[in-house]
Structure 1
Amino acid sequence: MCTSLTLTNNSQHHFLARTMDFGFQLEGRPVVIPRNYTWKKQFDGTRNTKYGFLGTGRNLGEYFLADGVNEKGLAIAELYFLDEAKYSSEVREEQVNLAPHEFIIWLLGENASIAELRKRITEVNIVEKEVPVLGFVPPLHYIVTDKTGETVVIESDSGKLVIKENPVGVMTNSPEFEWHVKNLNNYLSIQPNNYPNKKIATHEIKPFGQGSGTYGLPGGYTSPERFVRTVYLRALTESGNTAADSLNAIFKILDNVTIPKGVNIKNDGAIDYTQYRAVFDVSNTTYYFNPYENQEVFEITLNEELLNKKEPVEFKYTTDFKTTKLNE
């Protein structure tokens, strides 16, 4: 599953945020991939990163990342795209052949902006290849933003990677992005203000209380419902002037699509839940990570020391739930 959004605050500060919802325990943790790092692709050899980047990943012989931001402020998150993603079945010598889960490393390691990505997207050939720990080929699509605040979606429902404009700054899962945008037409009545009283014959009907304008706002955890709910909340939530204001606003929005453990069970019995939430400050290349187990938000900023490391750096975090006692 998963939900993602971008946000620009009143000071033109840009962010990318996501929930990571999955039934398999991913065991992702914050990791920095340095500049000039050589990584081994699953097809035809190795590549070197030009830019260093930071995100959520796991070492499976090679590092795989589900999201991240690089030193130039280009940020990306991958989300599940069930029954829609279409990949190549063969390697093409004239292109950069990547497994679906390797696309993030290529994008963050070799591109500085969406403008550059537009020029280079045709270099890439996404080939069907299993993720070793999962044992299957993950169907993925991607949301991308940069320091300009522009947001795009990258999908392969046509059989090749296509960059699509994202005017609402939100992405969830299947079906294709255009469907979600068109589906918003069904929710024209959703508004932050109450509806006025109305008379039917001699009888006056009126709201039971505050919030009548949001009647009909979807509340479930399906991809279309989370998309509509996040678009509404993103459009109206006060984003503030400072990074702290915006982070607080973003986590409040994510609260509405965060899936508690046990309320959403897959057909195979696996519990699909929000394993972590991440926010990327693309203006300051800073990463905020919140695991499911507690309410603490962990922060890492890309700096020259990290960018010039010889090997990737993993960061451990605590999973204990903590409170602050006020009467001691």
Structure 2
Amino acid sequence: MCTVVTLGAQQLFGRTMDFPPRTPWHLTYVPPEYTWRAAEMADDICNRHAILGGMRVVDDHYLVGDGLNDAGLACAELFFPVAATYPDAVRPGTLGLTPQDFIMWVLGRHGSVAEVAAELNRVTVIDARWYDQQRYPFHWLLMDRTGTYIIEPLGDHLQVRANPLAVFTNTPALDDQLERLARFLHLPETATVATLTKAIGTTEQAAPRGGNSVQRFIQAALWRWRHPQATSDELLGFLKSVTVPQVPEHAHNYTHYRMIMDLNAQRYDFHDLHSGQLVSQRLPDLMRQFPHSPYRFE
């Protein structure tokens, strides 16, 4: 039940991570020229860019939940059950990836959303088990200086498209979320984004209560477009409002961490809800300190 909000003018990217891991999430640094292999695949992949993000590790394999790279590209994966569709086999002549490994390929090999879009037809993301023997259906939010975008596995081929509302949650798909937001605002389901954002700014309608993905999408959209000049502290305050507590009714799906990425400063603030600690690191500093080896902040 993750929630993501981006602020383009401030180059801020915030999210809650509610996905239940088999191993713990930690802020982790991966250097440039790091070589890895997608689960169940045969090709070694060498990264071009350093990455700083929320990751977990299984047998020295990193699963990136979200992160930024040294070129200013950011990406986050969010749970996308039921709606996700993947090909059964790797298309000839393409690089095979699991959904779990896709974000490492995005951040490790590309400096912009445009670069990702140009190479999407060269990869096939298939439904396969990761190194922890689990399958995870994801969709992805990407951000660079040109805006906020999504990739959703809804057919045989992946495609980058703009996400002008700059918020994202789990299933359903973005088009469905926009239609539900329009109905909430008493607008036609075909309302344009400009109409939606104008209505958000003028309506006195309170945000819906509840924590499912549709309710959180509407909550995030209302907050985002009522606070377009928000600071990182204000963004963190909103993320606290959609944090899922670890209580008996949320024994597995609860918020493990909150994060704020500042793409201008290349800084990642990891708010660990298990330890209560804030770990804040800048990618350029880590590239100087650890030029060749990954590092986990535990």
TM-score, normalised to structure 1's length? Answer: 0.81
The separation in 1 between residues aligned to 2:64 and 2:174, in whole angstroms, is 22
Alpha-carbon spacing, 1:24–1:315, altered in 2? closer, same or farther (3 Å): closer
Q: Provide, for residues 205-239 of structure 1, a one-character-per-residue CA deviation record: whole Å limited to 9, x for no partner.
A: xxxxxxxx334x21111110000000001111263
- The answer for the alignment partner of 2:205 in structure 1 is 214
- The answer for the alignment partner of 1:104 in structure 2 is 103
Q: Provide, for residues 85-106 of structure 1, a one-character-per-residue CA deviation record: whole Å limited to 9, x for no partner.
A: 1112112341111111111111
Alpha-carbon spacing, 1:158–1:238, altered in 2? closer, same or farther (3 Å): closer
2:258 to 266, 272, 277: 277
- Gaps spanning 5+ residues in structure 1: where? 196-212, 241-245, 317-328
Identity of aligned residues (%): 28
- The answer for the alignment partner of 1:203 in structure 2 is none
- The answer for the alignment partner of 2:114 in structure 1 is 115
Q: Provide, for residues 41-79 of structure 1, a one-character-per-residue CA deviation record: whole Å limited to 9, x for no partner.
A: 221221111111100112212111111100011000000
Q: Report how far residue 123 of structure 1 moved.
A: 1.1
Q: Report how far residue 294 of structure 1 moved.
A: 5.6
1:53 to 39, 51, 54: 51
The separation in 2 between residues aligned to 1:144 and 1:264, in whole angstroms, is 32
- Gaps spanning 5+ residues in structure 2: where? 187-198
**What's the secondary structure of 2:87's corresponding residue?**
coil
Q: Provide, for residues 188-208 of structure 1, a one-character-per-residue CA deviation record: whole Å limited to 9, x for no partner.
A: 268678x9xxxxxxxxxxxxx
Instruction: From the CA coordinates, give the structure whose radius of gyration is larger.
Output: 1
- The answer for the alignment partner of 2:239 in structure 1 is 254
Q: Contact conserved, 1:239 with 1:249, CA < 8 A, in 2?
A: no
Q: Contact conserved, 1:152 with 1:166, CA < 8 A, in 2?
A: yes
Letter of the aligned partner of 1:311 in structure 2? S
| Superposed CA RMSD | 2.1
- The answer for the alignment partner of 2:168 in structure 1 is 171
Written as runs of structure 1 = structure 2, the 5 A alignment for 1:248-327 is 248-262=233-247, 264-265=249-250, 270-293=251-274, 296-303=277-284, 305-306=286-287, 309-316=291-298
- The answer for the alignment partner of 2:6 in structure 1 is 6
Q: Report how far residue 309 of structure 1 moved.
A: 2.1
Q: Contact conserved, 1:168 with 1:231, CA < 8 A, in 2?
A: yes
Alpha-carbon spacing, 1:295–1:235, altered in 2? closer, same or farther (3 Å): farther
Alpha-carbon spacing, 1:168–1:306, altered in 2? closer, same or farther (3 Å): same
**What's the secondary structure of 2:77's corresponding residue?**
strand
Q: Report how far residue 283 of structure 1 moved.
A: 1.5
The separation in 1 between residues aligned to 2:248 and 2:149, in whole angstroms, is 31
- The answer for the alignment partner of 1:22 in structure 2 is 19
Structure with greater helix percent: 2
TM-score, normalised to structure 2's length? Answer: 0.88
The separation in 1 between residues aligned to 2:63 and 2:17, in whole angstroms, is 14
Letter of the aligned partner of 1:285 in structure 2? Q
The separation in 2 between residues aligned to 1:293 and 1:118, in whole angstroms, is 36
Q: Contact conserved, 2:201 with 2:225, CA < 8 A, in 1?
A: no
